[in-house]
Structure 1
Amino acid sequence: MRNGNRHPFQAMALMSAILSQLAGSVLAGVFLGRWLDRNMGTEPLFLVVGLLAGLAAGVYGVFRLVHHYFSGE
C-alpha cells in the first residue's frame, strides 16, 4: 500500500496501538513480578524478570503490529 493512500487517523491509531502494546505489557510484567516477589519473599528478582519479559513481549507485539500494518492485510 502506498503512503498516499493512508489517512492521518490510521497513523494515530498505529501510534496509540504501539503505545498501549508497550506500556501494557511492561506494566503487566512489573505488577506480576511484584506480586511474585511479595508472595515468595524474593524482593527484586521477579520484578526485574517481569520487567524484562514484559519489555520483550511488548517489542515482539509491536513488530507484529507494524508488520501487519505495512503488509496491507
Structure 2
Amino acid sequence: MRPTKSPLQAMVLYSAILSQLVGSVLIGLFTGMWLDDQFGTAPLFLIIGLLTGLAIGVWAMLKTVQKFESGDR
C-alpha cells in the first residue's frame, strides 16, 4: 500500500508543473521572436521556439511527476 501524500505536496507538484510548462514555453517564444528579429524570418523561429519550448516543458513535467511518484526528494 502506498503512503498517502499531503495536500501541500500536491500543491508543490502542481506549482512545479505550471512553472516548468509556462517558463519553457515563454523562453522558447521570446527566443524565437528574438531570432526572427535578427534574421528577418517573421514567423519561422517563433513557431520553432514555441514547439521546442512546449516539448521541453512536457518532458520536464513528466520527469517531475516520475520523481514525485517514486518518492525521491
TM-score normalised by L of structure 2: 0.94
Residue 3 (structure 1) shift: 4.8
Query: Quick one: distance in 2 between partners of 1:68 and 1:30?
Result: 27
Percent of residue pairs identical:
57
Query: Quick one: distance in 1 between partners of 2:6 and 2:64?
Result: 17
Query: Quick one: distance in 2 between partners of 1:53 and 1:26?
Result: 8
Question: For residue 55 of structure 2, what is the aligned residue in structure 1?
Answer: 56
Residue 67 (structure 1) shift: 0.2
TM-score normalised by L of structure 1: 0.94
May I ask how many residue pairs the two structures share in their alignment?
A: 72
Secondary structure of 1:42's aligned partner: coil
Residue 72 (structure 1) shift: 1.1
Query: Quick one: distance in 2 between partners of 1:23 and 1:36?
Result: 20
* Structure 1 residue 47 corresponds to structure 2 residue 39: no
Letter in structure 2 aligned against 1:38: D
Letter in structure 1 aligned against 2:48: V
Query: Quick one: distance in 1 between partners of 2:3 and 2:15?
Result: 19
Secondary structure of 1:65's aligned partner: helix
Structure 1 or 2: larger helix share?
1
Could you list the structure 1 runs, at least 4 aligned residues long, displaced by more than 4 angstroms after superposition.
none
